[in-house]
Structure 1
Amino acid sequence: MTVSLYTAIENQIKRAQSNIYTALPAKVINFNGHTVSCQIMINRIIANGQEITIPPLVDVPAQFPHAGGFCITVPIKAGDEGLVVFSSRCIDGWYISGQQSKPLDNRINDLSDGFFIVGCNSVPNKIPDFYHNGASMQTDDGSTHIRLTKGTIYIKGNIIHEGSTEQLGNYNQVGSYNQTGGNTVSSGTLKAENVITNKGVSLNTHVHNGVQKGNNNTGAPNEG
C-alpha cells in the first residue's frame, strides 16, 4: 500500500468518525420534568477547518436514579451542566412505547438519540463545598445538608415532618420545645430541673395563700 493510498484511507476513516457521536458536555436550556433542551458545549470542526456550533438538542431524556418504585430527583435549572450520551441506534420506538422495538431509523450514534446525565461539571461550575468525609446531600454551598458517615447521620437545616415518628433509643435536645396541639402521654418518669405552668407558676418555688395547720387543703398557688 502506497503512502498516498494509506493517507487517503486514513482521512476517509477520520471523516466517517467525525459523524459519530458518543458523548459530549452540554448546558441546559430548559427542563420539563422529564426531558431537557440543551446546548452542546463542544463545537464541530468540518473538513475545511471551519468551526460550527451544533444546534440545540431537544427532548433529551434526563437521567435520574429510578428503580423499584423509588427515585432520587434534583430540580434541573437552565444553565446546569451535564453530559449527553448518545445511543448507538435510534431510540424512538422504545422511547415512545417502553417496549422492545426495532430501530425506526437507520441512524447510528446520532445527535437525535441522546440521554442527559446531570452533574458533569466544568471547573468554574464544580461543587464549591465538597464534603470528603462521607456521603452528602446538600445545597451547593453546604449551608443545608444531610451527611452520612459511619455510625452518624448529621442534618443541618429546618425539618418539616409529616407523619408519625418512632424512636428507639435515648433522645437529647439542646434548645426549646413547643407543642401547639394534642396531648403528651408518658408511661415513664418525667424529670425536669424547673417546671413552670402556662400561668407562670413554678412548681419548684411556688407558694400558696391561706395556709394554716389542720386538715383543710391549701389555697391555689400564687401566680408568678
Structure 2
Amino acid sequence: MDPRFQWDDATETLEALADDLAARVRISLPVKLTKDSDGHTVALQPLIKAVQKAPDGKVSLVSLPVISDIPIQHGGGGGVTVTHPHKEGDEGVFLFSHRSLDAWWQQGGEQPQIDARMISHSDGFYLPNVRSTPRKLSNVSTTSTQIRSDDGKHFSDWNPTTGTISHSVDGGKHVSTVSKDGGITHSADNGKHVVSLTDGGISLKTAMKLAMDASKGLDVKGPLAVTGKITSTQPIGAGILNGALSGGIGAIVGTLITLGVLASGAPSERIQQARYIINAAWSR
C-alpha cells in the first residue's frame, strides 16, 4: 500500500490518486520485433519493464508481455506507399489507441466501438525504425535525403542544394548520378568504365574491350573521328559498292571513297584491300 494512504490528509490522498491514474494512462512504448513480419502486422516486445509491487511492499521489475497482431504504419499517401522489410530485432515505437480498433481493423471506414476497453495493449500501431543509441546509424547525411542500407554501403541520395540525385552500391563501386549542372554520369567498377551525358556531348570510357551487336546495322550521321587502328573481319567498303556502283564513273567514285576509308590502315593493307575492291567493282 502507498504510505500516503495511511494518513488522513486530503492533499496526500489526491496526489496518490493522481499518481495511480497516471500510471494507468499509456501513450507509447519503445519496442522490438520478436519475429519477422509478414508486411502487415508485427509481434512486439515492449522494451520498458513494468514495476510490480508485492502485497508485502516489495518492488520488482518484470517484462511486459508480447503484443501481437499490431498494424504497421507504412509511409505514403495519394496512391503511393513506401514499404520495407521488418525483421526480428528491429526497433520502433508502439503507439496506443485510446479506443478498441477491432471493428475498424476488420472492416475499415467509420465503425462503432464493439469493446469498452481503453488504452489497451491490444490496440495500437507500430511506428518502425525509432532507434536506441547502440543501434544508431553511422554517417547519416545532414544535407540530403537518403534511402540506404543500415551499413551505408548502398544508398540513393537526393540533395536539394546541389540539385543532384545519386545512386551508389557496394560502397561506391557502381554509381549513377543525375545533376542539374553535370548532366548524367554512370560509373562502374570504381571508375574503370564511365558513360557521361552532358551539354557538351556523350562520352564513353572503358578499361576493357567494347563490344557492339547491332543486327540491323549501325548508322552514323555527322563527322566521325577515330584515334587508333581500324580493323575489319571483311574488306571495308565492299558492302557499299556491291550492287551500288556500275559503269566507269561509278567505279572511279567508288575507288576514291575506298581509298579515303582505308587511309587509317597500314600501307600494305591499304593497297591490298583497295586492289581487291576496285577489281570487284570493275568486274560488275
The equivalences for 1:58-73 within 5 A come to 58-73=68-83
Structure 1 residue identity aligned to 2:164: T
Structure 2 residue identity aligned to 1:36: V
| Structure 1 runs not aligned, ≥5 long | 160-166, 219-224
Find the counterpart in structure 1 of residue 51 from structure 2. 45
Find the counterpart in structure 2 of residue 222 from structure 1. none
Quote the offset at 1:184 in angstroms. Answer: 7.5
Q: Distance in 1 between matches of 2:205 and 2:140?
A: 28
More divergent stretch after superposition (54-63 vs 14-23): 14-23
Q: Distance in 1 between matches of 2:202 and 2:273?
A: 42
Residue 151 of structure 2 aligns to a residue whose secondary structure is: coil
Q: Does 1:115 align with 2:121?
A: no
Q: Distance in 2 between matches of 1:200 and 1:126?
A: 63
Q: Distance in 2 between matches of 1:27 and 1:174?
A: 48
Q: Does 1:12 align with 2:17?
A: yes
TM-score, normalising length: structure 1: 0.77
Find the counterpart in structure 1 of residue 146 from structure 2. 136
Q: Distance in 2 between matches of 1:201 and 1:212?
A: 11
The 1:39–1:174 alpha-carbon spacing in structure 2 relative to 1, beyond 3 Å, is: farther
Q: Deviations over 1:71-117 (max 9, x none)?
A: 11111110010011111111111111012012221111111111111
Q: Distance in 2 between matches of 1:44 and 1:100?
A: 34
Quote the offset at 1:211 in angstroms. Answer: 3.8
| Structure 2 runs not aligned, ≥5 long | 1-6, 176-196, 237-261
The equivalences for 1:127-206 within 5 A come to 127-150=137-160, 151-157=163-169, 171-175=202-206, 188-189=221-222, 191=224, 193-194=226-227, 199=233, 204-205=264-265
Quote the offset at 1:63 in angstroms. Answer: 0.9
Q: Does 1:91 align with 2:101?
A: yes
Q: Distance in 2 between matches of 1:183 and 1:216?
A: 28
User: Is the Cα contact below 8 Å between 1:129 and 1:141 reproduced in 2?
Assistant: no
Q: Distance in 2 between matches of 1:210 and 1:197?
A: 12
The structure number with the bigger radius of gyration is 2
Q: Distance in 2 between matches of 1:35 and 1:144?
A: 27
Structure ranking higher in helix proportion: 2
The 1:37–1:12 alpha-carbon spacing in structure 2 relative to 1, beyond 3 Å, is: same
More divergent stretch after superposition (78-87 vs 192-201): 192-201
Structure 2 residue identity aligned to 1:96: Q
Residue 279 of structure 2 aligns to a residue whose secondary structure is: coil
Q: How well do the aligned residues superpose, as a CA RMSD in angstroms? A: 3.5
User: Is the Cα contact below 8 Å between 2:30 and 2:94 reproduced in 1?
Assistant: yes
Q: Distance in 1 between matches of 2:24 and 2:118?
A: 9
Find the counterpart in structure 1 of residue 257 from structure 2. none
Find the counterpart in structure 1 of residue 27 from structure 2. 22
The 1:60–1:123 alpha-carbon spacing in structure 2 relative to 1, beyond 3 Å, is: same
Q: Report how many residues are paired.
A: 210
Q: Deviations over 1:162-220 (max 9, x none)?
A: xxxxx9965554447666677686675474645867859998546342544995358xx
Q: Distance in 1 between matches of 2:109 and 2:202?
A: 51
Q: Distance in 1 between matches of 2:31 and 2:122?
A: 14
Find the counterpart in structure 2 of residue 33 from structure 1. 39
